[in-house]
Structure 1
């Protein structure tokens, strides 16, 4: 008996020494045990809120029946937490503070029959879910690693107070502009009876409310919403049942402008997705002055020109721009998306004006004076000889008309040589403005042997105004004559 006791003691000592030696000898591998809450059937129980815990999940494993509705194939290693709600309200779970990326979801039901809690799925080093819990319901929280099985996990669960302006009746008053808020829409809900919005695809999304008290005077305001699937909708009315949509926009790039009438109460609803990857933001402000840009071409025109008028704005809230054009000559046209063209009947300076109106009623007036000055001379008559002989000089005349302004006119006379024109004369004269009458430009041309070789020659006359004046109607400034027949020189007969 004594021998047996000594043998057992010796065996225990050897076992202890062996374990201690293994702990200090390098190269000996030791498999870490999975965490106690590694399986759905052995979750960490949450008995009171708020609850926070840290644990090492690097040895966490997966079960074949772990739900994959949130995690999918990216999950690696799973631990479980379980809580039975004691009252109705919002619960928020988070893995903020963990040293690795996580997948977090909430489920209800029993093993093999788990059901996902709507929108209760998120991922990241600070994965966070917020959902409305029902008293007496048990919620199972699944936490998995992404890419790595786990690490230093931090898990917290707590009750969340609902957004103070979650209900229409509790809308936050807008007391001053500009007005900016970043509400927590994860703590909000969709109130029963909320009116539809043409900018919201899912009316079950959470929303918060703001109210614009009646003002003494009409004013134009802007509104924009930022955040995942964010939308801002403006309504008029005093109760939820009588709200009428005034304007709406999606996300911050779709800023809206609306006319707030004097004495009218307006309600503003901010809507967004339950799962968000950034903060929500609402911005209300006074609309900026309407500042359209005007394009008129040409601003210096003639009675032959069609002047194009167009107006627009760089700011989307100003579109589509409306209003009227006043051309300054007693006529006008509505402002539209297309260029409007107008022709002035007489020279003068016309006070053209744009009276612009934005969709929300802001107005602006822009003056664009148009100067109409028509410089126009024309060739009324071009006389060339019908025939000539080589060496013979014959007169050529060009008659120029002018009815508006005294002009300095140069007439260039050219003859056709093969496929080009060669200048043969140039004359500059003052041409007064006269309702009738002409100024003659006289030329003389001596026909050459080359003309005889061709047998005929055509002439061209061009009337040009002195730079920088341009002729408003150059179509009548050039004339080409009929060809003059050119014969060899006459042969003189000598008497015998």
Structure 2
């Protein structure tokens, strides 16, 4: 069909406008994926050390990209391949990349890739043991974006110089600290076990040698770092080493051992190959043993059995072996628990302990124990047997005291059926007399309520001024037999 003149004009106008728009808007370039975007096109690494800088922002994800290394969804990946020429450690790093990258190292072929031990790092270097002739495929990917400015390096790294017992690093002096790199350390055949780490024969280790060039002393060893542990041994070869101390990281708490003069001690530090917290070893002279004495009760009397124990805030001090001198001629042999002692007379006694820590540190500590026995008692409580409403009757409390002059208070109360209500309070000085007592006199007027109840029950309580403590308070309270109360005008028998 022939187009009309009007239609041909519209087409020509549209074509012209399209051409004009193309002149005004710059063209958009669609960048191609990197040349090593797929495993089959991995960049070959032919020599070490190797470095590469690459833009991976257009990297894509293959359907069979492995995801064992990370829990993130791989958005895009690039590949590198290296065939090891010798046994040893290799370290791959993406330090300097933007953004952080995921490193994953594999052996095998497409469809049968296997991740290598320690061959995974999210924003971290990867150090792994390579075998000569084995080909390693290294995948680098982004975890929140397809990629970015990648900076990759691969190089061989030596094993830790003190990886083996024979290469133990000398400790020049105390205090000493070191941060071992377990990524280039391994377990050596015949390494001894550790009582503080159940998997001590499956984790990497490094060795240090400490020789005590001075007099015998105690030394502490500790590590910080999740999963780390320190073990101390004596001996000259792996098969014959004997453990003398051991401690896992336990929030940085130390272990202690006695270092004999001129003796050499081998310190093994173990830890995981990969951790987000570095492991640090600390060796130092042990602090002085400073035990404290705990006694109960704090203010004993001759009626008490006093308990003593030696305590310390420092874990390495426990359990302490302690022998005791109680200051009154009695002693207790060396032991690790609480001891008890009875003082027969009042007085001030110097108690002495001689303590020894498990690693051999010693200390002597003294304390003063003051034995004071205050003992007052109600010897007699006299109340009327009967009364009438309105009568005022005498009530008396006789108090005995044979030890020290005391300021004593007697509280007189009556029971209203539900509660004890205070009637009167009296304080007097009570001298210490072996046979005589002091009378506390009271008077009480009986009320209509007493008559309605028909009886009144009185209680006497004896108290000493604080902080004085009565040694035997059981005789400080007496409840009298009830007093019969009659209404006014009722005849009662003479009392």
TM-score calculated relative to the size of structure 2:
0.83
Q: 1:466 to 1:267 in 2, by over 3 A?
A: closer
* Aligned residue in 2 for 1:49: 48
Query: Structure 1 residue 218: deviation in Å?
Result: 2.6
Q: Deviations over 1:331-386 (max 9, x none)?
A: 5487767x766553321112234444433233333323221111111122334444
Equivalent residue for 1:220? 218
Question: Secondary structure at 2:183's aligned position in 1?
Answer: helix
**What are the residue-to-residue correspondences of 1:13-162 with 2, within 5 Å?**
26=25, 28-71=27-70, 73-124=72-123, 127-162=124-159
SS at 2:41 equivalent: coil
d(CA) in 1 for partners of 2:391, 2:194: 92
Q: CA deviation at 1:304?
A: 3.5
Determine the C-alpha separation between the residues in 1 that align with 2:339 and 2:65: 68
> Aligned pair 1:348/2:347, yes or no?
yes
Alignment of 1:170-185 (within 5 A): 170-185=167-182
Give the CA deviation at 1:226: 2.8
**What CA deviation, in whole Å up to 9, does each residue of 1:454-493 have, x standing for no partner?**
55444444444456544322221232332344566688xx
Which of 441, 459, 480 does residue 439 from structure 2 map onto? 441
In structure 2, C-alpha distance between the alignment counterparts of 1:461 and 1:236, rounded to whole Å? 73
In the TM superposition, what is the alpha-carbon distance from 1:77 to its structure 2 partner? 1.5
- Kindly indicate whether the alpha-carbon contact (under 8 Å) linking 1:407 and 1:433 is maintained by their aligned counterparts in 2: no
Partner Cα distance (1:157, 1:43) in 2: 15
- Residue 162 of structure 2 is aligned with which of 138, 141, 165? 165
What is the 5 A alignment of 1:350-389?
A: 350-387=349-386
Rounded to whole Å, the distance in 1 between the matches of 2:226 and 2:429 is 76
Q: Secondary structure at the match of 1:300?
A: coil
Pairs aligned (count): 466
Q: Secondary structure at the match of 2:141?
A: strand
Give the SS at the match of 2:252. coil
Query: Offset at 1:111?
Result: 2.5
Secondary structure, counterpart of 1:74 in structure 2: coil
The structure-2 alpha-carbon separation of the partners of 1:202 and 1:415, relative to structure 1 and needing over 3 Å to count, comes to closer
Q: Shift of the alpha carbon at 1:427?
A: 6.6
SS state at 1:86 partner: coil
Aligned to 1:14: none
Aligned partners of 2:288, 2:247: CA distance in 1, in Å? 20
Instruction: Give the CA RMSD over aligned residues.
Output: 3.3
After TM superposition, give the deviation of residue 452 of structure 1 in Å: 5.9
CA, structure 1 residues 416+108, in 2 after alignment: closer, same or farther (shift >3 Å)? closer
Of 215, 231, 234 in structure 1, the residue corresponding to residue 232 of structure 2 is 234
Residue by residue over 1:133-153, the C-alpha shift from the partner in whole angstroms, topping out at 9 and shown as x without a partner, is 222222222211212111110
Matched residue, 1:201: 199
Contact 1:391–1:448 under 8 Å retained in 2:
yes
Structure 2: runs of 5+ lacking an equivalent: 1-20
Partner of 2:423: 423
**Unmatched segments (≥5 aa) in structure 1:** 1-20, 492-496
The 8 Å contact of residues 319 and 359 in structure 1, kept in 2 or not, is answered as yes
TM-score by length of 1: 0.82
1:407 shift after superposition: 2.9
Q: 1:53 to 1:438 in 2, by over 3 A?
A: same
CA contact (8 A) 1:397 1:440 kept: no
Q: Tell me the SS of whatever aligns to 2:109.
A: coil
**Structure-2 change in CA distance of 1:412 and 1:237 (3 Å):** same
Q: Deviations over 1:426-448 (max 9, x none)?
A: 473542332xx122427475765
Task: Quote the Cα distance in structure 1 between the aligned partners of 2:466 and 2:255.
Answer: 52
Sort the Cα spacing of 1:210 and 1:484 in 2 relative to 1 into closer, same or farther, 3 A. same
Q: Distance in 1 between matches of 2:375 and 2:162?
A: 73
Partner of 1:190: 187
Q: Which digits, 9 at most, give the CA deviation of each residue in 1:40-99, with x for residues without a partner?
A: 222212222111110111111222333333245532222121222222222111111111
2:75 counterpart SS class: strand
Give deviations 1:247-269, integer Å, cap 9, x for gaps.
22222534222222344321111
